[in-house]
Amino acid sequence: MSGTARRRGAARAVSVLASPETTLALAALVANIVAIFAYVAVTGTVVQSVRYTLYPVVWVVLSCYVVATLVRRGPALSESTVGVAVTVGYFAVLAAIGTPFGFGGEMNTVMVMQATPGWGPIVMYSVGPVGGTLLPFEVIGYATLSYAVGCAVAAGSRGALAGTVGLFTCVGCVLPVIGAVVGLFGGAASALQPATTSYGLATGLFAGTVLLLVATIPLSPRR
């Protein structure tokens, strides 16, 4: 590698690290970690799995970076009727096959449960025919995916195809597959406890999808 190429690479790396998007993502990372430590200290919660506790942090931090990048340098979603429609429709699909939306019961109820930041506060609701469970990091992540796919459509980018992969970040979709595989090799008892594995897989798919979308959507030069 020539000296000129190395200098260009270093300048590009510095540009990325010094960008407002990266600054926002780092601020979100610090805020999430501080919030988790504060919650654990105040409530006396015992963290059983650090990895499981940090999954929401990955979703939130990447969401901040992706949304900030697209708002600042991406296509104007509001100027594309089709892009807006795709954004809303994509979120509805993710929510319907995930945990946010589903079928409610006969009674109108809303329950709020405390959990470590990102996982909580967990809102379980049933309003008429609609019911579901709202996990903050899932709602943020699904909204980010939907916005990114809408931007890809607005830009006429092939990146919209990456949104298909994003459907599998829905834990409701991944969990039955993981359960079937674990049950096949580990027995029925193991199949009943695949949640950590499925969330890990969903987090990996989410990260890969949003980064792929950002890489394929045409962006304006950094200012």
Provide the residue range defining the domain that includes 28.
3-216
Residue 180 resides in a domain? yes
Residue 86 resides in a domain? yes
For residue range 5-21, what is the model confidence (pLDDT) as tens digits?
A: 455 444 444 455 568 89
Residue 97 resides in a domain? yes
pLDDT band at 133, cuts 50/70/90? confident
Give the residue with greater pLDDT, 105 vs 25. 25
Residue 104 resides in a domain? yes
Output the furthest CA–CA distance in the chain (Å, rounded).
70
Residue 221 resides in a domain? no
Residue 222 resides in a domain? no
For residue range 169-218, what is the model confidence (pLDDT) as tens digits?
A: 544 444 433 333 333 334 333 333 335 557 887 888 888 888 888 888 88
Output the CA–CA distances (angstroms, integers) from residue 80 to 88, 150, 153, in the order listed.
13, 9, 8
Average pLDDT over residues 45-54: 88
Worst-scoring range by mean pLDDT, 42-56, 84-98, 136-150, 162-176? 162-176
Question: Is the pLDDT confidence value at 62 over 60?
Answer: yes
Residue 223 resides in a domain? no
How many domains, in total, are found in the chain? Answer: 1
For residue 179, the Cα-to-chain-centroid distance in whole angstroms is 22
pLDDT value of residue 83:
85
Residue 193 resides in a domain? yes
- Calculate the average pLDDT of the chain: 75
Residue 131: name the closest of 166, 161, 178, 95 by CA.
95
pLDDT value of residue 184:
37
Give the residue with greater pLDDT, 57 vs 176. 57
Residue in the structure block whose two tokens are 């595989």:
181
pLDDT value of residue 152:
86
Threshold 0.85, pTM exceeds? no
For residue range 71-108, what is the model confidence (pLDDT) as tens digits?
A: 999 988 888 888 888 889 888 887 877 665 555 556 67
